[in-house]
Amino acid sequence: MWIFIIILGFIFLGALLYWLLIITEGVYLGRRAVVWMYDLTAHKYDGIKEYDADAEELFVIRPLRYYLHHIPAPYILDVATGTGRLPWFLLQQPTFHGRVVGLDASAKMLSQAAAKLDGFHARAALVQGTAVPLPFPDNTFHAVTCLESLEFFPSDEAALRDMIRVLQPGGLLLVTRRRGWEAKTFFGRYHDTTQFEQLLQEMGCEQVETKAWQVDYDQVFARKPSTA
């Protein structure tokens, strides 16, 4: 009998640790735990993700270019830029003439980004900081992006509000909404499509549009009103 209880205890503990550290990546342990885990794994992050250049161009860069086509040199903020995925793929485009600021709380993730973005000089800037508060004035950027990260912030709502604050009136917001069964284990933090779109609308966003993207993520596009 005791052996059965002990085995069950180990199974429960293993499942709890898997959920706390792997599925939810430390978010229930606080921001420092999340960032510490990214610092630990930064050197292998790109190897694990294996981003496909064609897929990035088709599903991330092309939509951004489309939404920003009327701006000759867009100024973009990528929140939780990690190893610089979005700046890297964007700045490689010969038709993109803008500048990108990548912000992240993990120094090790940023040092991977810095190595990749070295050749882009003043067109790529990296800032170590947290998603809330963003260290930028109101109404600064033509677009603010945040890929695969919102669910790991202490408050996704506070982060969204601050992203909207630093957007110029009429500016574009591109964020991702976690989807799939794992997303539903982010207890107290999960939003379905309707809830997420409503959240952005309540924050004043217009033209909120969700597009299915990956198994785990939707892309959500929205505009800050021009009159804001």
Ligand X SMILES: C[S@@+](CC[C@H](N)C(=O)[O-])C[C@H]1O[C@@H](n2cnc3c(N)ncnc32)[C@H](O)[C@@H]1O
Binding site for ligand X (CB under 6 A): 31, 34-35, 38, 80-82, 85, 104-106, 109, 130-131, 147-149, 152-153
- Closest separation in Å from C-beta 67 to ligand X: 18
By beta carbon distance, the residue nearest ligand X is 82
CA atoms of 224 and 161, how far apart (whole Å): 11
**In contact, 176 and 148? CB cutoff 8 Å:** yes
DSSP, collapsed to helix, strand or coil, labels residue 71 as: coil
DSSP, collapsed to helix, strand or coil, labels residue 136 as: coil
Only one residue has tokens 């100024």, namely: 75
| Residue 67 vs 153, nearer CB to ligand X | 153
Q: What is the DSSP string of 75-86?
A: EEEEET-TTTHH
| Residue 34 vs 61, nearer CB to ligand X | 34
- Closest separation in Å from C-beta 200 to ligand X: 19
CA atoms of 91 and 223, how far apart (whole Å): 23
CA atoms of 134 and 65, how far apart (whole Å): 24
- Closest separation in Å from C-beta 87 to ligand X: 10
Greatest CA separation for the chain: 72
- Closest separation in Å from C-beta 100 to ligand X: 12
| Residue 153 vs 221, nearer CB to ligand X | 153
| Residue 11 vs 115, nearer CB to ligand X | 115
- Closest separation in Å from C-beta 218 to ligand X: 14
| Residue 203 vs 216, nearer CB to ligand X | 216
- Closest separation in Å from C-beta 214 to ligand X: 10
Task: Tell me how far CA of residue 109 lies from CA of 18, 75, 80, 102, 228, in angstroms.
Answer: 23, 22, 9, 11, 34
| Residue 38 vs 67, nearer CB to ligand X | 38
Closest CA to 142 of 115, 117, 121, 171: 171
HEC secondary structure over 47-65: HHHCCCHHHHHHHHHHHHH
